[in-house]
Amino acid sequence: MSASSTVLVTHHSIPTDDTAPDGRHIAEVALNRPEKLNAWTAGMRAELVAALTAAGADDRCRAVVLTGTGRAFCAGQDLAETAAIDAGDHAAAEAWIDDFGRLFRAVRALDKPVVAAVNGVAAGSGFQFALLADLRIGHPGVRMGQPEVLSGIPSITGIWAMRSILGRAKTAEFALTGRLVHGAEALRLGLLNRLVDEDRVAAEALVEASRLAQLPPGAVALTKGRLRELDDAGLDEAIEAAKKVHVAAYATGEPQREMARFLSGHRR
């Protein structure tokens, strides 16, 4: 992919031995819209799904690192795109949720280890995306959370993504208040697995991915498969619930009004 792509893929070689094929690598998949804090559009998510699918199909790729360019991991949905959804366009609201379903399943379908290098803010659907990784490494200044309600967007898939880590009480707090937490609290809550200095996040994520990449791949794949089985049904239910809820929400016009308020600089 070119430097103008909204998703950049870099291959990092990993050590080999006499029994390992040449060319084994880690795929670093970076969101590349730094001027928008890597807030994504439908086109950007399509690029990301393609990159993740390619990594999953490549036998030489033994692990994946997810990150963002610039000072953010992913600020979530680009509100300029969703604010334009017409209140009566139920199909558009459903298609938007299906789009995220494809992205989430593309991450979860990877049988190889996935490490998120959380280099900055991870908010809304970007926060959910980070939680899909097997391990997350960040720094004290990161901010993580689910501020969708502040823009009039119900948090439905967010509840599914958070609950297994946070439990019901903290999930309700995050979903209803929209607050973001910094790195130390994210670590305490289990949203991050490790905290390092800001300039070490990318390197530490690659080191961790390299360690995992050298584990027996069959055991890793089967373990990840079982972990998926534990909550696959929950994701399916969350996607279907989100389509119903978001259709109802967009039909009121409230999300569009709140997003317009946000885009005009009047933030809650």
- Collect all residues with Cβ–Cβ distance below 8 Å to 194 and sequence separation of at least 6: 135, 136, 137, 138, 187, 204, 208
Task: Please write down the HEC assignment for all residues of the chain.
Answer: CCCCCCEEEEEEECCCCCCCCCCCEEEEEEECCHHHCCCECHHHHHHHHHHHHHHHHCCCEEEEEEEECCCEEECCECHHHHCCCCCCCHHHHHHHHHHHHHHHHHHHCCCCCEEEEECCEEECHHHHHHHCCCEEEECCCCEEECHHHHHCCCCCHHHHHHHHHHHHHHHHHHHHHCCEEEHHHHHHHCCCCEECCHHHHHHHHHHHHHHHHCCCHHHHHHHHHHHHHHHHHHHHHHHHHHHHHHHHHHHHCHHHHHHHHHHCCCCC
Catalytic residue among 28, 94, 148, 258: 148
148 is catalytic: yes
Annotated catalytic residues are: 148
